[in-house]
Structure 1
């Protein structure tokens, strides 16, 4: 089971972000990703919201750094950790635009991009961007297929696309919390990245479908872990997610500073190395 991270600083979701993150910036973020990279963590994620309604910020938070700019910065401060959007909302974007922008990042990072994609859930944000709300599921399916067709291609419909990605395939991890999101992952994606579900709910949903070989199940820890202060809970959470079917876990981390965050990462790495599953 691979271990990744939900990037600190770049979002400010109540109950998830630590106090130190509010005043942190590029230096602290760079320190964290460099540390995670050196420790061998699998991936680091960044979410997408262009704008959040004021009344939704109390639960969702109002701070969301742009994922392309953020992951590009993280790429320059690391060598092997994978760079994951968690998630970009496909109805907001044209597939060729994504292929060009994130394909450039894929080239700059030497093939480390993973595209987490989703249908979106904020009607007000859809309306702000002029994106289709009512049929967003069907739009997402169509754009996943189109993204597959144009990713990494130097020429599309008689038009030159340069630079393009270094690979002709990019992993697509489907975000969501519904059975339809799981079916979308099975039919069109390379992984499922659910949120807001219990381990029991995830187990039940996974048990109701035939999973293709190699499909990643990328689960989150929910509340932040405290590997130094409470290693037993951290270990228990990881065990439970493994038992629920996780092939990879995206961890949120509690910390008091960037330096403490790095100490927490070292402790988390020690826990995972003691509990490696075949």
Structure 2
């Protein structure tokens, strides 16, 4: 089921500022700091950089979620021009909010401009007011996402796609430019509910866990394997997990009780547990008090920790 080897990407700082993970320095940062983070990840060999997605945040949630969420297509397109190797992941685009032809156009263009580096991560969303403002039925978002993923797959594969779906029928319309990747860029589906996991197994080429604990992943992976077998699906399948935040060394400041801190060997052992389960990708986020410390930690993880995991 899994792709060979364990790969490591990062959730980009600055571009989303939820209080769950945002560092204090990020609230005063902007494009310059974001670019430095992406270019460091590119230079250090991280497999991907990831950008989140929300269109609008209601006042009742702004305290916890923050109001700053960069647009993933614009952000990843800009970073494509500033990087050369790292892949570009939307984690996750709230796909039901947009017509799949529009998304196919945007992401096919992004794949072309980046030289085939797109990883298209999609999810159902969770903010009712966002759906209401855009005229989309929040309570049917799962069914809408099902059809959206199928329509996206068709539109990214065929220049003249044929999709007879009930909500998004289209036929005889050219969708060009075409993506570089063949037959199309991979679609990874996010979400940790049973319905989301089944959707990823049925429709996607990968699953984006939303922070499941390592002890819970075995059951999720068994469900994926069962659904893929029942659906007659085979071939490579990516499993992306998000471990706790990392800090290499003794921080000397409060990094929170869930952060993984200490010697490289300790961090490598914790990360290796994910690979042993069948996880193929880990999305990492170093703890930091400044951009300088973030970049130092990003390099320490890449040079001191990850080689121990790979060995």
Q: TM-score, normalised by structure 1?
A: 0.93
* 2:101 is equivalent to residue 74 of structure 1: no
* Residue segments in structure 2 that go unaligned for 5+ positions in a row: 1-5, 162-170, 229-233, 251-260
Q: Distance in 1 between matches of 2:173 and 2:61?
A: 41
2:138 maps to which residue? 133
* 2:225 is equivalent to residue 220 of structure 1: no
Spell out the pairing of 1:92-111 with structure 2 (5 A cutoff). 92-111=97-116
1:184 maps to which residue? 199
CA offset digits 1:119-169 (Å, max 9, x no partner): 111111110111122221111111111111111543343333332212331
Compared CA separation, residues 141 and 58, structure 1 to 2 (3 A) = same
1:276 maps to which residue? 310
Q: Please say which structure displays the higher CA radius of gyration.
A: 2
* 2:8 is equivalent to residue 3 of structure 1: yes
Aligned length: 276
Indicate the SS of the match to 2:102.
helix
By relative contact order (CA 8 Å, sep 6+), the higher-ranking structure is 1
1:240 maps to which residue? 273
* Greater Cα shift, 256-265 or 184-193: 256-265
Compared CA separation, residues 196 and 38, structure 1 to 2 (3 A) = closer
Does structure 2 conserve the Cα–Cα contact (< 8 Å) formed by 1:217 and 1:245? yes
1:237 Cα offset (Å): 3.4
2:287 maps to which residue? 254
Q: Distance in 2 between matches of 1:134 and 1:11?
A: 25
Indicate the SS of the match to 1:13.
coil
1:15 Cα offset (Å): 3.7
Spell out the pairing of 1:202-217 with structure 2 (5 A cutoff). 202-210=217-225, 212-217=234-239
Does structure 2 conserve the Cα–Cα contact (< 8 Å) formed by 1:99 and 1:164? no
1:195 maps to which residue? 210
Does structure 2 conserve the Cα–Cα contact (< 8 Å) formed by 1:99 and 1:165? no
2:92 maps to which residue? 87
Indicate the SS of the match to 2:310.
coil
Q: Distance in 2 between matches of 1:192 and 1:10?
A: 22
* Residue segments in structure 1 that go unaligned for 5+ positions in a row: none
1:55 Cα offset (Å): 1.8
Q: Which one of the candidate residues 11, 35, 39 is aligned to 1:34? A: 39
Indicate the SS of the match to 2:121.
strand
1:239 Cα offset (Å): 2.3
Indicate the SS of the match to 1:184.
helix
